[in-house]
Amino acid sequence: MQRRLPVLQRCIRKTYCTMATLELAKEIFRCADAVCFDVDSTVIREEGIDELAKFCGVGDAVREMTCNAMGGSVTFKTALTERLSIIKCSREQVNKLITDHPPQLTPGIKDLVERLHERNVKVFLISGGFRSIVEHVASQLGIPHDRVYANRLKFYFNGEYAGFDETQPTAESGGKGRVISMLKGKYGFEKVVMIGDGATDLEACPPASAFIGFGGNVVRPQVKERSLWYVTSFGELLKELEKI
């Protein structure tokens, strides 16, 4: 019994530290200067690139590659390049996707963004998806387009696929963190929270002051395991704001 006591004490200490860190994350969220959201499988229910692939008739070939990218098993830029080389969407197909199959907002996100705006918290969308789709989502949420950071597709003069802008920070692993560092420098934010479902969101903290893992649409085990604060609905975050 004497030998087991230090082990028990270490377990209690670890649990206490985790709880303390969780409370700190919640406090940072309540007092945040800015909140940055991932878009695919977070703000919207689907993965935009998977929907585009399905619309272009190559959904099955792309879906598994998306899972690998979100889980962190391959670099994001590699996965993006490979998926787009299969999809090869035209400008017309992208526009038609938005018109015929607009992105579906995750329940609760509109209320949460409205509440944050009421508190004068700046809200940004930082996505590895495509700007044309993300701007549509931003408009639905009342988020100015200059607070959108996403990848840009390139097209030839006839509308055929010509690649993507590889200079965008969101085109690479670690890009979301670079965007957050830029935002902190540009606006002088002290407390910035990143919310998302994937590995590219998790790795943005730091420089984000806190990370909230989101599993309301899909649960990625490695992200859930490494998140100090993990939620499955935006209602949980709204309740946290009510404590203020």
Question: Which has the closest alpha carbon to 184: 153, 205, 155, 166?
Answer: 205
Distances (CA, A) of 149 to 20, 53, 56, 104, 195: 32, 21, 24, 19, 14
Which of 40, 50, 197, 201 is the catalytic position? 40
**Residues 6+ away with beta carbon under 8 Å from 54:** none
Q: Contacts from 21-26 at CB under 8 Å and sequence distance 24+?
A: 21/228, 22/228, 22/229, 24/210, 25/210, 25/211, 25/212, 25/228, 25/229, 26/229, 26/240
Residue pair 178/171 in contact (Cβ under 8 Å)? The answer is no
Residue pair 118/32 in contact (Cβ under 8 Å)? The answer is no
Pairwise CA distance, residues 138 & 6, whole Å = 52
**Residues 6+ away with beta carbon under 8 Å from 111:** 234, 238
Q: Does the annotation count 40 as an active-site position?
A: yes
Pairwise CA distance, residues 232 & 227, whole Å = 12
Residue 150, phi then psi, degrees to nearest 5 = -155, 175
Q: Does the annotation count 60 as an active-site position?
A: no
Residue pair 194/178 in contact (Cβ under 8 Å)? The answer is no
Return the amino acid letter for 172. E
Which of 33, 38, 50, 197 is the catalytic position? 38
- List active site positions: 38, 40
